[in-house]
């Protein structure tokens, strides 16, 4: 009996993914454990291993297919003794709808006449024996004029959120047909939008894609579809801003001692046979360590909120925001409170490299007690960051720079770093958040305390 190869769930929250690449082709023999495909999720590209042995009889979902539902059949494996050709031929009838929510591709130019003829043929009907019912009026245009369109074109335009009155019809007497709507989806064949009232200078909140596009000339922009990562980032941050009552605490930290200690430690780092230092610590490595220790000193802030209970974490797992070409990912430094700064530095370099290559495992970026977002390397003095649930806090770190300060009634120069802690008010009140930030400030200003 043939075995179905299913779209795997690579994380507990995964519902669909992209089938990036097939590493085996039809007719290839596979053994249990062989890597057969690469699956792309919103965060990483992961390899899929074969569970059973046999021959790939039929690939049902071609590589490059997006939004393949978890547990959808992506290929069929003929087991030992089975006719591969017969198995492959029978598998075609069971081909799943890999991307149920994905829109159909617009018909190619060569196929446009056929697409146009189909709805026209469907509209022809034999003359009825009795008087026909009055025909439905044509859909009105936005300026009040009637628009003649096929039923299929009307439905497609409604689903796409496009006004029929803006579509140039190519059918008889200017009738709008399905091919015209498909062309309009890509910005082609669209008439200029009717003049909006003077008070409507911008799209209203929650405006549709087409309503926003209507504010611009069709040839004045390029529409680049969102990838999965950008969609998930938008969904999570929108939910966080809507569902989490967030407040912000800011502190200026004198990091003069830290900068001096870092330079001395890096200068004394042992060299390998090629003369390269064993480690090169960054300010961010110390920030991660200080925040992890601060959570241990203020354990009531090391929590996650749920509707049923407060989760008190025993360890400090610190997520660190890493910019990647298609968005942002937050790999986690596990048990950061018991690791040396050098080990944190090594872990961070490894995780950041694999994050940019989309090779992280789900458990390397899911969870975490808190997070660090550092834009100091871009010269940002101060900013606020949005909490990434289920975490209850995130620390935004600005640039370390020399500033004028007053010490003992005298003007002095100090290296100051401004940090802003965003807190979930459900999980910690202002006083508790202030204790956490105070513990961090004490540690970052006195780095020797991180080794005690």
List active site positions.
425
Question: What is the secondary structure of 374-389 as a DSSP string?
Answer: E-GGGT---------T
Paired tokens of 102: 């994905």
Does residue 401 contact residue 415 with C-beta atoms inside 8 Å? yes
Cβ partners under 8 Å of residue 311, min gap 6: 303, 304, 305, 390
Contact status, residue 347 vs residue 355, Cβ threshold 8 Å: no
> Three-state DSSP class for 353?
helix
Cα distance between residue 315 and residue 333, in whole Å: 11
CA-to-CA separations, 168 to 136, 182, 441, in angstroms, rounded: 21, 12, 64
User: Residues 276-284: contacts with CB within 8 Å, 24+ apart?
Assistant: 278/342, 279/342, 279/345, 279/346, 280/345, 281/341, 281/342, 281/345, 282/345, 283/255, 283/258, 283/259, 283/376, 283/400, 283/417, 284/320, 284/348, 284/372, 284/374, 284/376, 284/397
């Amino acid at each position: 009996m043939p075995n179905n190869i299913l779209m795997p769930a690579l994380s507990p929250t995964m519902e669909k993914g992209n089938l990036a690449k097939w590493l085996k082709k039809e007719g290839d023999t596979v053994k249990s454990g062989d890597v057969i495909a690469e699956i792309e999720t919103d965060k990483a590209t992961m390899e899929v291993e074969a569970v059973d042995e046999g021959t790939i009889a039929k690939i049902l979902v071609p590589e490059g297919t997006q939004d393949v539902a978890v547990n959808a059949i992506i290929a069929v494996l003929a087991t030992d003794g089975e006719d591969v050709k017969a198995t492959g031929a029978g598998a075609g009838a069971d081909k799943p709808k890999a991307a149920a929510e994905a829109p159909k591709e617009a018909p190619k130019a060569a196929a446009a006449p056929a697409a146009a003829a189909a709805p026209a043929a469907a509209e022809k009907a034999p003359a009825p024996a009795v008087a026909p019912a009055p025909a439905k009026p044509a859909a009105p245009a936005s300026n009040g004029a009637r628009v003649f369109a096929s039923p299929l074109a009307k439905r497609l335009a409604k689903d796409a959120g496009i006004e029929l009155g803006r579509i140039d019809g190519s059918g008889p007497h200017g009738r709008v047909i399905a091919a015209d709507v498909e062309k309009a989806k890509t910005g082609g064949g669209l008439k200029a939008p009717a003049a909006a009232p003077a008070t409507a200078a911008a799209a209203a909140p929650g405006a549709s894609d087409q309503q926003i596009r209507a504010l611009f000339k069709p040839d004045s922009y390029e529409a680049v579809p969102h990838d999965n990562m950008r969609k998930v980032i938008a969904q999570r941050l929108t939910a966080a801003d809507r569902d989490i009552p967030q407040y912000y605490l800011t502190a200026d930290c004198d990091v003069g001692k830290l900068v001096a200690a870092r330079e001395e430690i890096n200068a004394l780092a042992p060299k390998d046979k090629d003369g390269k230092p064993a480690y090169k610590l960054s300010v961010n490595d110390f920030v991660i360590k200080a925040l992890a220790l601060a959570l241990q000193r203020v354990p009531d802030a090391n929590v996650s909120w749920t509707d049923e209970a407060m989760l008190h974490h025993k360890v400090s797992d610190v997520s660190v925001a890493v910019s990647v070409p298609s968005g942002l990912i937050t790999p986690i430094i596990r048990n950061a409170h018991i690791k040396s700064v050098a080990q944190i530095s090594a872990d961070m370099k490894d995780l950041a490299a694999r994050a940019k290559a989309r090779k992280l495992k789900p458990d390397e970026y899911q969870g975490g007690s808190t997070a660090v977002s550092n834009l100091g390397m871009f010269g940002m003095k101060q900013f606020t960051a949005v909490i990434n649930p289920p975490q209850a806090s995130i620390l935004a770190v600005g640039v370390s720079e020399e500033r004028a300060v007053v010490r003992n009634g005298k003007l002095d120069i100090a290296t100051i770093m401004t940090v802003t802690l965003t807190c979930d008010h459900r999980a910690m009140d202002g006083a508790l958040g202030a204790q956490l930030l105070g513990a961090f400030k004490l540690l970052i200003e006195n780095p020797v305390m991180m080794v005690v």
